């Protein structure tokens, strides 16, 4: 599990001990091909890390719900739940071979951040950098 967390951009800069804290609150889930993992416009309080297989991310209402992106091993989705438990902006479905995911819920994550502020700082910094990248590229695509 620690080796997987080391590959996750969201956890970049965390020490072995800090990754062990996250590993301790992670729970494994498996999904069959085509299973819905998260549903757009529903609330969520968990972030998902792909350990095996893939996740097709799509927006409901678009033609034939074609995947906007396919996420693989070490990639994260649902990460906005670490900031606020608002509505999901997209749906995620297990890929053709199904998937195995690790799930981190907001409450235990928030508890780690409260007791280890440096962990929360590093993760939120990484999350902010990722969101800035996505916004920048989204804005460039509309020009």
- The reported pLDDT for the residue numbered 138 is 60
Paired residues of 29 in beta bridges: 101
3-state secondary structure of 134: helix
Q: Dihedral (C-alpha) 3, 12, 49, 38: value to the nearest 10 degrees?
A: 180
- pLDDT surpasses 70 at 141: no
The helix/strand/coil state of 82 is helix
> Tell me, what's the pLDDT at 27?
97
Q: Which of 2-16, 52-66, 119-133 has the highest mean pLDDT?
A: 2-16
Give 64-76 as a DSSP string.
GG--SEEE-TT-E
For 128, the token pair is 């902010």
Percentage of the chain beyond pLDDT 70 is 92
pLDDT given at position 16: 96
Lowest mean pLDDT among 78-82, 88-92, 112-116, 135-139: 135-139
| Model pLDDT for residues 85-117, shown as the tens digit of each residue | 778 888 999 999 999 999 999 999 999 999 999
Mean per-residue pLDDT of the chain:
89
Q: What is the dihedral of CA 69, 5, 84, 98, to 10 degrees?
A: 40
Digit-coded pLDDT (tens) for 32-52:
999 999 999 989 899 999 999
Calpha distance 52→132 (Å, rounded): 27
């Amino acid at each position: 599990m620690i080796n997987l967390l080391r590959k996750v951009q969201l956890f970049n800069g965390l020490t072995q001990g800090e990754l062990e804290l996250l590993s301790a609150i992670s729970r494994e889930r498996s999904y069959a091909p085509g299973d819905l993992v998260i549903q757009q416009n529903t609330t969520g309080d968990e972030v998902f890390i792909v350990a095996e297989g893939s996740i097709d991310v799509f927006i409901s209402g678009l033609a034939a719900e074609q995947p906007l992106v396919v996420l693989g091993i070490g990639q994260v989705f649902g990460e906005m739940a670490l900031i606020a438990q608002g509505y999901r902006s997209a749906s995620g479905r297990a890929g053709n071979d199904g998937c195995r995911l690790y799930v981190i819920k907001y409450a235990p994550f928030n508890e780690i951040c409260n007791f280890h502020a440096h962990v929360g700082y590093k993760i939120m910094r990484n999350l902010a950098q990722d969101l800035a990248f996505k916004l920048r590229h989204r804005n460039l695509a509309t020009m």
